[in-house]
Structure 1
Amino acid sequence: MNYQTFQPHPDLASLVNCYWILEVPAENDSQKQRIIPDGCIEMAFILGDDIKRFTSEDEFILQPRSMVLGQITEPFYIQPTGYVNTFAIRFYPYGFANFVTIPIKSLADKETPIELLFGEKTTKALEQKIIQAADTSQRIEIIESFLLAKLNDKTTIDNIVKTTIDALLLTKGSASINTILKEDLSKRRQLERKFTKQIGISPKQLGKVIRLQSALKMLLNKKTENLTNIAYESEYYDQAHFIKDFKEFTGINPKEFLDNENMTLSSLFYK
């Protein structure tokens, strides 16, 4: 398995978290992998064999070859049909809204073909360039040219949204929205509207995802295996609160997560 991340051009660094690639040899009995929320929106190009995304225990769809995966609010399963070769762009929560005109909320919990966002002609040309690129470095150049062209002018990220996200990231999701906004309820209503439009989920949901990310990294990096300590370090009210949020976003409890072969891919992304 080959998973690597790459940093974006400085002009895109406020919007794009990273580029990543994943290559996995074909296996005869590949396991389903549970994908869990991470608070980000991703654009992905499937360069290998098709990937199934399960809509129920036994039913599935094939993910589009080029797609945008919106905000995830609940876990789902994917399964490769053969060789995995994916190139993807991971946007910050507020990043992708700067490149499209449709409401970000409409992208949540599903894969949207890129051609529905940027048009068939533009998408076909981009796909061919990505497929024919000699290596990852060239693919990054191609996608950065595409994204920079979409921006046209330097984008100013809406201040109230960015300030809130920065505070959530700085406090690992533990800061309350009222504290960030200094109890100004009119600002809170404004923030809720802007979050729905630009991020696709509420500020409270994003805070929960960011806090869970912090706890997951501690768990996966074996900084401590004591769940009470993890709950305390991640500023949960208590262990029960931590386990409740963990199960909400992953579908299983923390100890099951560590030993679950369906979590290999999610574990890789979080380490």
Structure 2
Amino acid sequence: MSGTALLSNISGIHSKQPFFVLNSEHFHTHLAPDNPEVSHFYSFKAGSSQESTIAIPDGCIDIMFDCDAGSPIGQVCGTRLEASATKFKPGHRYFGFRFVPGVLPDFLALSAQDLIDHEVNLAEVMTDYDFLLDQVMDSGSFSQQVVGVSQFLKSKPQRETTRLSDQIIAKIRQHKGNIQVQELERLSGYTSRTLQRIFKNDIGLTPKGFSRAIRCQCAVYDINHNDELVFSELAADLGFSDQSHFLKEFKKLVKATPQEYLNRVKQKTYLERIQCH
């Protein structure tokens, strides 16, 4: 793949977990154009460090497998509300896929709210877990894993959400999370209380909480992909009243200031570490 095509492919992934990339020995990813419910597939070998990796809010649900031959295991992971630690076993290879923000697969026996800030053993909430695990473990390469799991996902229905929630998700993503509940009230014709109740039942988050996760991802995305970014302009673009408010919020959600995060991704040549397939 050419350098231009590679960057174009990576730029299509808006819901990244950057510290998974930075703390791995190698990181592979694959966009899922044939499955609109999936943001991307990924695979990485955890680095040798015993320290925890930081997971940041992304508004997404992940299904991830520790592909250890002796004791493979799958987990379903909900979005975080703030930056928090997650552990990977040094040297183990992981395979996962991330659903687009707001999508909850129908084959999981739990509610959207059950997953917020939680990781759940996949075997406990999925009837055909063993079949999916075999699809992952019997494949000899990342590309084969993607093909096998893609076929599995295409055979499964998406969990139905209300038309109202779909509209709110689309608006929040369109505005990079920079939209007020009052504006959503005006656009939908529903009261704030009704909006909150229906959306939280469908997504597990309030519209404000979902907006916060999307705004976090937009900030990270812009830092990753813009060499001449001015933080004050980024803060204004995302709707922060002043730069200090943006810095404080970013630190909560990413566990680093924007400058600290920028220094780290540039030091690690972040985009070059991602191998697209």
For normalisation by structure 1, the TM-score amounts to: 0.78
Partner of 2:13: none
What is the aligned partner in structure 2 of residue 8 from structure 1?
Answer: 32
Match among 172, 177, 185 for residue 168 of structure 1? 172
Change in 2 beyond 3 A, CA 1:82/1:184: closer
Q: Residue type of the partner of 1:110? A: H
Partner of 1:18: 40
- For residues 1-271 of structure 1, the aligned pairs below 5 Å read 1-8=25-32, 10=34, 12-13=35-36, 15-24=37-46, 27=48, 29-48=49-68, 65-119=73-127, 122-151=128-157, 157-182=161-186, 186-259=190-263
Contact 1:224 1:230 in 2 (8 A): no
C-alpha distance 197-184 of structure 1, shift in aligned 2 (>3 A): closer
Deviation at 1:204, TM superposition (A): 0.5
Q: Which whole-Å CA distance do the structure 2 matches of 1:102 and 1:31 have between them?
A: 30
| 4+ runs deviating over 6 angstroms | 266-269
1:184 CA displacement: 6.1
Q: Identify the residue that residue 21 of structure 2 maps to in structure 1.
A: none
**Structure 1 position 228, deviation (Å):** 1.4
Partner Cα separation in structure 1 for residue 190 and residue 172 of structure 2: 20
In the aligned structure 2, how far is the partner of 1:184 from the partner of 1:139? Answer: 41
| Residues 231-261 of structure 1, C-alpha deviations (whole Å, 9 max, x = no match) | 1232321102211211221233223333469
On the 8 A contact 2:58/2:101 being kept in 1, the answer is no
Counterparts in 2 of 1:43 and 1:212: CA distance versus 1, 3 Å? same
Unaligned runs of 5+ in 2: 1-24
- Matched residue SS, 1:182: helix
Q: Percent identity?
A: 22
Q: Does the CA-based 8 Å contact 2:41-2:146 persist in structure 1?
A: yes
Say how many residue pairs are matched: 247
Aligned partners of 1:254, 1:147: CA distance in 2, in Å?
36
8 Å CA contact 2:231–2:243 kept in 1: the answer is yes
- Secondary structure of the residue aligned to 1:146 is helix
AA paired with 1:233?
D
CA RMSD of aligned residues (A): 3.1
Distance in 2 of aligned mates of 1:132 and 1:207: 39
Mapped contact 1:172–1:210 kept (Cα < 8 A): yes
Q: CA deviation at 1:213?
A: 1.7
- The DSSP-based 3-state class of the residue aligned with 1:255 is helix
Contact kept, 8 Å, 1:178 with 1:184, in 2: the verdict is no
Task: Give the Å deviation of 1:107.
Answer: 1.3
